[in-house]
Amino acid sequence: MNVCQELTYAQVRELAIARYVDDNKISIGVWAKQNGYIKKKRQKDNRVYTVYIKMNNGNSYNKNYDKNNE
């Protein structure tokens, strides 16, 4: 079952700084990408917001990978 978690830039920034990442957009963006966050744009009330989406999937490892590559 997929569980989708949307975070704002400010929330992702707090998580990154707590893990000793430099406090700039580039470092935080690279950290987010390396940790499985996807950057998307959302429009609400004629304003565009950037959100980071983290997919929590219990089947993130493809169980059939080993069977297909034997």
Band of residue 3 on the pLDDT scale cut at 50, 70, 90: confident
How confident is the model over 20-47, as pLDDT tens digits?
999 999 999 999 999 999 999 999 999 9
How confident is the model over 49-68, as pLDDT tens digits?
999 998 776 544 545 545 55
What pLDDT score was predicted for residue 37? Answer: 94
Cα distance between residue 52 and residue 54, in whole Å: 7
Q: At what angle do helices 9-18 and 25-34 cross, to 10 degrees?
A: 80
